[in-house]
Each structure stands twice: as C-alpha cells, then as structure tokens.
Chains A and B, each alone.
Chain A
Amino acid sequence: MIRPWEIAALALGLAAAICGATLIGSGSLFLLCEILVIFLLAQMWNLLAGFAGQISLGHQAFVGLGAYTLFLAANETALPLWLVLALVPVAVGLVAIPLGLVMFHLKHAYFAVGMWVVAEILMQLAAKADWLGGTSGLVLRPGGNMLAGEPERVVFAIAAFCAVALMVGLRVFLRTRLGLATLALRENEAAAASAGIDVRGLHLMHFALTAAGTALAGALYYITALYISPNDAFQINWLIAMMFVTVVGGIGTLTGPALGTIILIGAREAMTAWGFTGGQYWIVMGLLAVVVLLLAPRGLWPAIAARRGATQHATTEETEA
C-alpha cells in the first residue's frame, strides 16, 4: 500500500504547488505550466506504450478532445470552469472506452496508425463544425464572460500537484496486483493471458485512463492559451513531444519522462536564447533522439541508472528508480 514517505511527497507536492502558484512570476508560470503539461502527456503515453505495451500514434486526439470539451462546456453552461475541468477527464475517459473497443480490432502497428487516423479525422471534423468555430476555433469565455484573474496560477497549482500525484500514484499502482499484471503485459501478452490476465480488459483500462489523463493535460494547457483551434489542438506535435520525451528519457520507467521533458524544453529555451530558429531546434532534437537511441536504446534514464551501478531491476522494484 501507500508508504509514509509517499504520503509525505504528496503533501510536499501540494505545498509546493500552492506556494509556486502564489509566489512565482506570471511569465515563468506559463513556461512551468507547459513543462508540467508535457510531462503529464508523456507519462500518459509512457503508461500506455511503455507499460501496457500499446503504441498509439493518435493520443493527440485526446488533447484536442479534452480541450474542446472544456471550452464548449465552460462557454455554453453556467458550470464553474474548474468544475468543468474536473469533469473533462471523466467525459473523455468514457468516450475512450467504445473507441478502444473498436480500435482494438486493429493490432500493433495497425492500431498505432489507426489511432493517428482517428486524430486526423477529429481534426477535420472540428474544422468543419460551425458550432466549434470551424477552422478559427473558440475563445475561452466561461459562461459567456472573459476569464478574470490569472488562470495560469490555478493551472500551475493543479498541474504541479497532478505531476507529483501521478508519480506517487503510478508507483503505488505498480505494486498492486493490476500493476504487476501491467508489467507482465509489457513483457509477454500471450504469457499474461496464460496466467489468467484479461489482456484486452487491461488494455482497455489503460487506454481509457491515459485518454482521460491526456485530456486533462490538454484542457489545462488550453486554459492558459485561452484560445483553441483544430490545427493546434489536434496537431501531431503533441504526439511528437510525448514520444520524444518518453523514448529519449526512458520508456517503461517512471523517471524517464521527467528527464525527457527537461531535455526537450531545456534545449528549446537554451537554443532560443542563443538565437537558433525553431527549425534548427527540431533538427537538433531529431539528431539527439537518434544518438540516444543508438547509444542507449532503452533511453537515458535506464542508462544512467545502470551507470550508477544499480542492477537492472525492471520489476516492481524498478519503480524505486
């Protein structure tokens, strides 16, 4: 079950989230919100691909679905924005269940590409829908009014606490029987079924949970943006960020995506400060991914952990790393 120091970490995370939200300057908060959102997105993709063994090339669909659900529900109803935000992952998670049941008819690479097609279709549908503002999208106007105050402060507090809670929650989860079953899925699906594990059911659970988490992260991001359009919300760059962060950081590890996020955003900020262009940044990131995957195919974090002399315990104890 949950260990004392994990509860302490949650409490500390909550305190840091609130302090940060009140004390940090607005400019830095936007950057921190983005970092946290990327981390949350990557950890969701990592859970599905790295732990449950299902690679989706369409999880940006849930970024867009989450954000559009939030904008629509907040703008068209009198519900408070933060209540709508809490309902977004529930709604998108529920939508993901029938979607998963359909998509699971496709296996492996077909599933991965099928998910990308889903995201593309959703982008086209959003662009065609007048009630979603078509290609020009929507402005966030909860209950019809402009958003007052500095929403990025609340967004930061929520995202920071979610990031800590996710790390703690996943560690706890991987120690449970379903967590052990998830690690088994990652290793060998046929053997998992032979052990009595309902592979399809577990896949569906992870698909819906990661869709919900991805939707929440997407909704958080677009609250700070205040504006949403199909080309932005459903863009493949969300997926690229999730994959880069996970694969470079260390797929199937809990710490890897945190490391990957720091590299992705840190390099961007540094290169921007030194006057490089966006195009040059992506070339460098692409090369970095290639180099990392050649030298440390399982990602940087496992390589670092091995270098530190830690034995390669990718078991339930691996979550200690």
Chain B
Amino acid sequence: MAGVAAPLLQARGLTKNFGAIAATDAVDLDLNSGDSVGLIGPNGAGKSTLLALLAGDHRPSAGALTLDGTDITRLPVHARVRSGVARAAQIPQSFDRLTVRENALLPALFGAGLGRSEAEGWIAEVLALVGLTERAGMLAGALGLLDRKRLELAKAVAARPRVLLLDEIAAGLTEPEIEAIMELVLSLREGRAIVWVEHIPFALRGTCDRLMVMDKGAKTHDGAFAEVWENPELQSIYMGVSDDHSASH
C-alpha cells in the first residue's frame, strides 16, 4: 500500500452522553491488526460504553470511527459485524429457544458470511475452543451463567471478526477456566485486533501487549503493557485492581 496505511480501526473524539454524564468522553483509539489491548478502569469508567460504540450498539454523541479508512460511524450493528467488528457483551445475549449450536451458527452464517456446511465446520471448532462441545445440542436458555458467557464469546468469535471486542468474558470464572480463555485469546490474536476489558490483571498481562486505562469516560493511559502497568499514577486512578490485592488497605 502506498503511503501510511490507515489503522484497521480508528476512533477520533468518540463521545457518548447519557443525559448530563459523558459515559465516554472524546476517546481517540487506533487499532492495528495483531494488536491486543487490555482495557481497564474502575466501574463506571465507560469501558462497556466504548465497546458498545465500537460495536455499533450506541450511536456516538460526537466523534468518528473508521474501519480500513472507511467511515463506519453511522453503520448499523449488523453491517458492522459483517464488515468485521464483533463484541462479546458483558451481559450475555443469547437466543434462548435455539440450541447452543444454532446460536453460534447464526454469526457464522450472517456475520462471517459462510455457507452452511463451512459454517457448521467452523462453529464445531469454535464450540470446542470455548468448551461447549458437549452442550451443543442444548437450548441456550438452559445454560448456566458461565456457559452463557462462553456462548457469548463463541458467538463473537464465530463471526470471524477482524476487530474482536471482549467485555468481561472471564469475570466469575475459576483460575483454570481463565487460563483456558487466555489460551483462546492468544490463539485468536493473529490477523486481528483484540480489545479485552477485564478486572483480572494476570489474564490481561498474559495475553495483551498493550494496556489502555479509562477513568470517568476519558482515556488516561495507552501504551506498552508493562510501561502503563508500572505507571505510579495508575494505582491512584485504578484502585480496584492490583495483582496481590495489597492496594486494598
């Protein structure tokens, strides 16, 4: 490509107001293929709102968003998924009276645009990756919360996104389960950008090269993981998280 290639995903001044509060306040963000970004910040910092803006669930109050240099600010959710931006939401959303397999099949068919047989093969892989193979024939409504979170992740992955947005997919999991998710995230890094919101430092440190911090809607830090993590300001902004919980006194 001639000149400087446009970032895969670029946000400029992305803002979302809910009444008087700016849930997300003028956030700039560049994501390139291969980037894996951990996103942290206290509850209410605007992390989920930022991911919702990227996924198209919210229309921004201000700002612009491009994918491959093309403006997608006004693109509706379904078109964004088709063009390669998918999110596993913090609150899992499933099709309760469809089977787990059918739930994952839909984003493979409509999001990734695969044919039926190709999609069937692909979702068998995805369900194996998230550990839902044995539950594939169950109705999604019969799943427990953790399995619903796994299914939410499977649905996002099944769409074969180039930008994969993960919102607290590991919350509530046990350590071995978190490690399985980390492995999955690592295996998904190639050829796409990942933004992972999580309150589990070792999970982010083990999978992300970059760390971004949000507070009160604004992006406060964004850089190499270790650098941002070591930043002394971080602990004061982000009291909720520390590796050994020693900051809780």
Contact = CB atoms under 8 A, between A and B. Distances in A.
Contacts of B89: 194
B102 A316 contact: yes
Interface string B84-105: 0011010001111111001001
Given A191-B94, A196-B82, A196-B159, A180 B77 contact: no
Nearest to B140: A187
Given A313-B139, A315-B102, A316-B102, A194 B55 contact: yes
Interface residues of B, number: 31
A299 B37 CA distance: 49
B116 interface: yes
B107 A195 contact: yes
B57 interface: yes
B225 interface: no
B106 A184 contact: yes
Contact of B98 (A183, A199, A312): A183
B111 A195 contact: yes
Interface string A73-86: 00000000000000
A187 B107 CA distance: 15
Interface residues of A, number: 24
Interface in A188-202: 188, 190-199
B102 A180 contact: yes
A183 B96 CA distance: 10
A180 B99 CA distance: 11
B120 to A, nearest CB: 12
Interface in A170-186: 177, 180-181, 183-184, 186
Contact of A177 (B57, B111, B116, B159): B116
B110 A197 contact: yes
A180 B103 CA distance: 9
Nearest to B99: A315
A19 interface: no
B109 A193 contact: no
A198 to B, nearest CB: 5
Contact of A194 (B86, B112, B116, B139): B86
A251 to B, nearest CB: 13
What are the 9 closest A-B residue pairs judged by CB atoms, nearest first?
Answer: A196-B111, A196-B110, A314-B97, A191-B93, A187-B95, A195-B106, A196-B81, A193-B77, A195-B107
